[in-house]
Amino acid sequence: MTASDATCESFADHFRSKINAIRSSLLTQVDFDFNESIALYLSEETLESFVLVDAVALGRVFSQLKPTTCLLDPIPSSLLKTYYDSFEPELQNIVNYSLQTGVFPSAFKTAVVRPLLKKSNLDPNNLNNYRPVSNLPFLSKMIEKIVLIQLNEFLNENSIFEQYQSGFRTNHSTETALVKIVNDIRCNLDCQKLSVLVLLDLTAAFDTVDHNILLCRLRGLGISGTVLKWFYSYLTDRRFYVSMDTCSSKVFDINCGVPQGSILGPLLFNLYMLPLGDIIRRHGVCFHSYADDTQLYIAVSPDDEESVNVLLNCILDIKSWMAENFLQLNQDKTEVLVIGSEDKREFVLSKLKNYKTSQSVRNLGVIFDSEFNFIPQIKNITKTGFYHLKNIARVRPFLSLASTEVLMHAFISSRLDYCNALLSGLPRKRISNLQLLQNSAARVLTRTRGREHITPILKSLHWLPVKFRIDFKILLLVYKCFYGIGPSYLSNMILRYEPSRSLRSSGTGLLVVPKVRTKTYGEASFSYYGPRLWNSLPESLRAAETVHVFKGRLKTYLFNLAFS
């Protein structure tokens, strides 16, 4: 889309009118009881004031920030980072004054919004296909980061986080969330039950957050005094303008929402969504969230009408709660996937006619299919991977080995490794196309012909074959769970082996391998596959002191195993 001032104005009007329309449509449904909301989350501990930062803490935070420059920054962020020592006392004064007074500088409250096309294949002339991403001043991110660290510490100490919310949390990721969900579905299938997976779709969720409700939520969590005053200052009197190339719109006020692209925005959204977990649990439905992506899933017997009704009632309660909190659930885009054998799915599908049911859905970047064999996901990886590989092969004669390797990791290895823990326990034949993609990448990189044996090439590049990359990821997750640095929802799946009497195996770091029924599903589940794989490792490897040491030793161990 060609940029002009008129185009920027159109985008600004579109983003504003979209939010206003959503809030207006929900306003008639709002009957929010602030006191009731607070009572559910009244914390015994409080966070009344921030700890002022010293030069060491400030330097640590400053070094972690990416040197991205906003149009509102007076000098390039990279230049500021280069001469940080010269500005350190002034920066420390700005940060500590904000923390001490509870006032977020007004100069940092303006966001430069850049429209971002949601998907590359969407029509760029349709404004609905864009999302507003806020670019904020570099120094505002520095203050936000310091506040984030102290708020996170308070929330962790008081166990306030939702257990099944994985968005923007340390040691949590889309992969850990999906490993949990896939494990539960595989266990359902192992017990000869169907699974119904519902992917809820919210419209502009970050942008419709109500500031009054959010502040009340924070107060209920124990945020008070100067800290609460700071968040009030941070949220209010914000402004934005749209910028494209050298063109821009007028500046407009923002009366709701948390900035997409900010450091604090995702955490504040997670806290805003806290009551949702209790509403879903009340119905006995399993769920998991990643920021504004929430999915529900239940186990269903082929003729179990009651469980489906429970799920549908849960969705109605969720929709009602969201309306009260100025969040719009888009039923037309909410997707439903029934997982299990084809002959058993029909009964359940007939009960879900009001929802969009599919044979496959894209879930946090991974394609889930109704047979749960991950064939569509593997086909998608290989199709996209070979497309990029052909393009790399065309320019390979003009590139150095090091430059080509960077491209291979960016376009091929990253796709092979993204959420590959979900492919545990699949037959070698099923993942053979992924191995073919890796082999082809190795040949293009080293400029070797197809008739040459691939094993020495992979070995020379120190590339683990695909099967071993999957096992590497699984074992890394098990290590983190075993030593208490993994998500609690994964750690709860593994159980340390404690023999009834003193044996040689006592204290060797073994895990209990649960009994399962089927090889296809039960033995592929994380709760079975992970412990079985872990127990096969040498004791010295299981006892590695740190994650870094474990990863190094594990790669060496698997490398020797793969090429022995």
Which CA distances in Å does 452 have to 38, 41, 363, 461?
68, 64, 39, 15
What stretch of H or E contains 243? strand 238-244
pLDDT at residue number 459? 95
pLDDT at residue number 36? 44
Sheet containing 356-357, strands listed edge to edge, beginning at the edge strand earlier in sequence? 286-290, 293-300, 194-200, 335-339, 356-357
Tokens of 97: 């004054």
pLDDT at residue number 34? 45
Contact indicator for 365, 417 with CB cutoff of 8 Å:
no
Neighbour count for residue 453 (Cβ, 10 Å) = 8
Kindly report each contact of residues 15-19 with a partner whose C-beta sits within 8 Å and lies 24 or more positions away, as own/partner. Answer: 15/113, 15/132, 15/207, 15/242, 16/252, 18/204, 18/207, 19/204, 19/207, 19/208, 19/256, 19/257
- pLDDT values of the chain reduced to their tens digit, one per residue, 564 residues: 667 889 999 999 999 999 999 988 887 655 555 444 444 555 678 999 999 999 999 999 999 998 888 888 888 988 988 898 998 999 999 999 999 999 999 999 999 999 999 888 889 889 989 988 889 999 999 999 999 999 999 999 998 999 999 998 999 999 999 999 999 999 999 999 999 999 999 988 999 999 999 999 999 999 999 999 999 999 999 999 999 888 999 999 999 999 878 899 999 999 999 999 999 999 999 999 999 999 999 999 877 889 999 999 999 999 999 999 999 998 888 999 999 988 888 888 888 888 889 999 999 999 999 999 999 999 999 999 999 999 999 999 999 999 999 999 999 999 999 999 999 999 999 999 999 999 999 999 999 988 889 999 999 999 999 999 999 999 999 999 999 999 999 999 999 998 876 655 555 789 999 999 999 999 999 999 999 999 999 999 999 999 999 999 999 999 999 998
Which amino acid type is present at position 350?
A: S
Q: How far apart are CA 324 and CA 49, in angstroms?
A: 31
Q: What is the 3-state secondary structure (H, E, C) of 273-335?
A: CHHHHHHHHHCCCEEEEECCEEEEEEEECCCCHHHHHHHHHHHHHHHHHHHHCCCEECCCCCE
Q: How far apart are CA 438 and CA 406, in angstroms?
A: 14
Q: How far apart are CA 458 and CA 467, in angstroms?
A: 13
Q: Between vectors from CA 323 to CA 322 and to CA 328, what angle results, nearest 5°?
A: 75
What stretch of H or E contains 202? strand 202-203
Contact indicator for 143, 98 with CB cutoff of 8 Å:
yes
* DSSP secondary structure letter of residue 357: E
Helix or strand or coil: residue 496? Answer: strand
Q: What is the 3-state secondary structure (H, E, C) of 330-342?
A: CCCCCEEEEECCH
| Exposure of 369 in the CB half-sphere (CA atoms within 13 A) | 12
Burial class (CB in 10 A: 0-12, 13-18, 19+), 487: buried
Burial class (CB in 10 A: 0-12, 13-18, 19+), 382: buried
What is the DSSP pairing of strand 130-135 with strand 286-290?
Answer: unpaired
